[in-house]
Structure 1
Amino acid sequence: MIFVLILLTVCLIMTVMLIKRRQHENNKPIIAAYHRSPLNQSDQPTGQGLAPSAFARTNPDAPSFSIMIVDDQQAIRMLLRELFEQEGMTVYEACNGASAIETAREKQLDFILLDLKMPDMDGIAALRGIRKANGAVQVAMITAFGDPGTIETAKQLGVQSFFTKPFDIEQVKNSVMNHLLHPAGKEDPQE
């Protein structure tokens, strides 16, 4: 039942994004950028019909960040991938904890969005493996269940933020960007 609710929420979010995207396409020229994804070596169009984000427009010399999205639900990974690619970020995806740990070993990552509940291992076990590979990467957790003990363990492992499904994608984006632009935990005075 929870899976159905989550799936319906994701579908609703994707529908809203599609509507916003179409409204945006009617007001902006089409911009197509091609990025080579490190996990999929084919060229993929990204950002079609979307203007660059306010961050990208106001700061063309901004540093390029990389993020890994770890979730067993493909729709969530796809939604977040599109969101962060619009910000000019390199996006990696992992569908389970084992592939997340492997990617953390092989790639230089600035931020990880990590699901707490996955089929092969939970997010805490995956985070412990990620921390062995990269102790400094910033991490936020995505969860449908907020067990206080698990959240405390995640905080001890350096998790900075928690997002409960269904989450507001703008809130996720703003939080991630704030953590990347102000890694010492300083809040952005404009937010």
Structure 2
Amino acid sequence: MNLTESWIGDKPLVPPCGLFGKGQHIVLAEDDDDFRSTIAMALRSDGFEVSEARNGLELLDKVAPCLGGNEPPKPIDAIVSDIQMPCFSGMEILEGLAEVRRRPPVILITAFGHPHLHATARSLGASAVFEKPFDLDDLRSVLFNLKDAPGFDGGY
């Protein structure tokens, strides 16, 4: 079940062709190298700058300044993270960010989704949860529409 549409409003707008992500920085955390590479390539083709993390510890290194209330060296416009990864899970990172006033939107992806997980992620402020396999155009639509989502202030 993909809860994206109910989380950010009506039917998401389809992103335009071209570089709609230009100037935006996405942190992508996924422990499957091939899957991470595929997502990163798609986002880069949309103009996003993508920082990749292979596990939760690498993701934590990239978002740690946010957790401490500081601005990261490179502003983060969104985080796309697998939930189950070595070291720290995407859910643990989301929990840490839940208390941060200005934080980037978080989109979670998982191969092990269930209604309780979706509800927990939503209560912690996830912008969307995608179950693998998912259509990359759905992820692109969410990223395209985040700037219009309630409470989005341009990232951190």
**Superposition TM-score, scaled by structure 1 size:** 0.60
Aligned equivalent of 1:80: 39
How big is the alpha-carbon RMSD for the aligned residues of Structure 1 and Structure 2? 2.5
Which of 132, 136, 149 aligns to 1:169? It is: 136
Contact 2:22 2:47 in 1 (8 A): no
**Superposition TM-score, scaled by structure 2 size:** 0.72
**How far apart, CA to CA, are the structure 1 residues paired with 2:29 and 2:124?**
17
User: Unaligned regions of 5+ residues in structure 2, if any?
Assistant: 1-15, 66-71
Change (3 A) 1:63 1:169: closer
- Percent identity of paired positions between Structure 1 and Structure 2: 28
Change (3 A) 1:183 1:65: farther
Aligned equivalent of 1:54: 17
Q: Identify the structure with the greater helix proportion.
A: 1
Contact 2:22 2:48 in 1 (8 A): no
**How far apart, CA to CA, are the structure 2 residues paired with 1:85 and 1:125?**
26
**How far apart, CA to CA, are the structure 2 residues paired with 1:134 and 1:89?**
24
Aligned equivalent of 2:148: 182
Query: Given the alignment of the two structures, is residue 99 of structure 1 paired with residue 61 of structure 2, yes or no?
Result: no
How far apart are residue 153 of structure 1 and its match?
Answer: 1.8
Number of residue-to-residue matches in the alignment: 129
**Which of these two proteins has the greater Rg computed from alpha carbons?**
1
Aligned equivalent of 2:119: 152
**How far apart, CA to CA, are the structure 2 residues paired with 1:140 and 1:185?**
15
Query: Which protein has greater RCO, CA pairs closer than 8 Å, 6+ apart?
Result: 2
